[in-house]
């Protein structure tokens, strides 16, 4: 079975860095989506301190990512990357399901 989400090497490395400085009870990172932004939906990342029974767990490159069950359909086939630029760095979601993305890149839409 294909993973819901794949991690680039940069994303996996950055999550390992984040987790090494996280509070001891953090198990991994959770990815979810929420309504908002110009295009309708935005990605949310946070520490996961407990495994919710309905979470999908993706283990890739030595990292655990917990996917909120409500986000699974939005994230199928997505690659999570981490980009460092001169003035900012951020996680980037390369999602083949997006039909629209707002100009600032903070939100997306899926028909």
Residue 53: which residues within 8 A CB-CB, separation 6 or more? none
CATH assignment of the domain containing 92: 2.60.300.12
Cα–Cα distance, 55 to 30 (Å, whole number): 9
- For residue range 64-98, what is the model confidence (pLDDT) as tens digits? 999 999 999 889 999 999 998 888 888 989 888 77
CA dist 3 to 47, 51, 65, 100, Å? 20, 18, 11, 23
3-state secondary structure of 111: coil
> Considering the entire predicted model, what is its pTM?
0.81
The whole domain housing 48 covers: 5-109
Task: Count up the domains in the chain and report the number.
Answer: 1
- For residue range 5-38, what is the model confidence (pLDDT) as tens digits? 999 999 999 999 999 988 888 888 999 998 876 7
């Amino acid at each position: 079975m294909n993973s819901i989400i794949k991690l680039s090497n940069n994303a996996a490395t950055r999550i390992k860095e984040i987790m090494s400085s996280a509070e001891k009870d953090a198990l991994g990172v959770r990815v979810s989506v929420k309504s908002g932004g110009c295009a309708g939906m935005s990605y949310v990342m946070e520490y996961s301190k407990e495994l919710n029974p309905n979470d999908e767990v993706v283990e890739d490159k030595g990292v655990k990512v917990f996917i909120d069950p409500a986000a699974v359909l939005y994230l199928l086939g997505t690659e999570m990357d981490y980009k460092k630029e001169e003035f900012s760095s951020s996680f980037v979601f390369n999602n083949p399901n997006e039909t629209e993305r707002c100009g600032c890149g903070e939100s997306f839409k899926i028909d």
